[in-house]
Amino acid sequence: MTSAVYRNSMQAIGKLVPEKLQPLWKHPAGPQTIFFWAPAFKWGLVLAGLGDLQRPADKISISQSSALGLTGAIWTRYSLAITPKNWSLFSVNLFVAFTAIYQVARAIKYQSEQNKQAVPN
């Protein structure tokens, strides 16, 4: 029943979509699929990562940022291995990976500087 309601809803909405946007609407990774919505909502992780750039380096979790960066890198690769190629998923995961890797670099640099200061001359 749910799939029938969904299909009927998408057909009704599809009639309202302007002709110029019909190719996007009907695309295999378009707004009628999870391939569109999952990356759209995942941009929230990118925004959170960009917000964390203001976080002091001593408050960054290297393990958490590493896991997020690795996940972003894996999904970046996966988005090009699936059919249809999902460029939206590719771009969001690339940004997730880059922001997380940058945070890891900041934290490691901070820890290295702290270790140098702790070593007595």
Half-sphere exposure of 30 (CA within 13 A, CB side): 12
Contact 88/39 with Cβ under 8 angstroms? yes
Per-residue pLDDT of 84-118, as tens digits, reads: 788 889 999 999 999 999 999 999 999 999 988 88
Q: In 17-86, which residue ranges form alpha helices assigned H by DSSP? A: 22-26, 34-51, 62-81
Contact 78/109 with Cβ under 8 angstroms? no
Domains and their CATH numbers in the chain:
1-32 (no CATH), 38-118 (1.20.1280)
Contact 100/47 with Cβ under 8 angstroms? no
Geometric angle at alpha carbon 98, from 107 and 102, rounded to 5°: 20
At residue 18, the 3 state secondary structure works out as coil
Q: How confident is the model at residue 71 (pLDDT cuts 50, 70, 90)?
A: very high
Q: 6 pLDDT exceeds 90? A: no
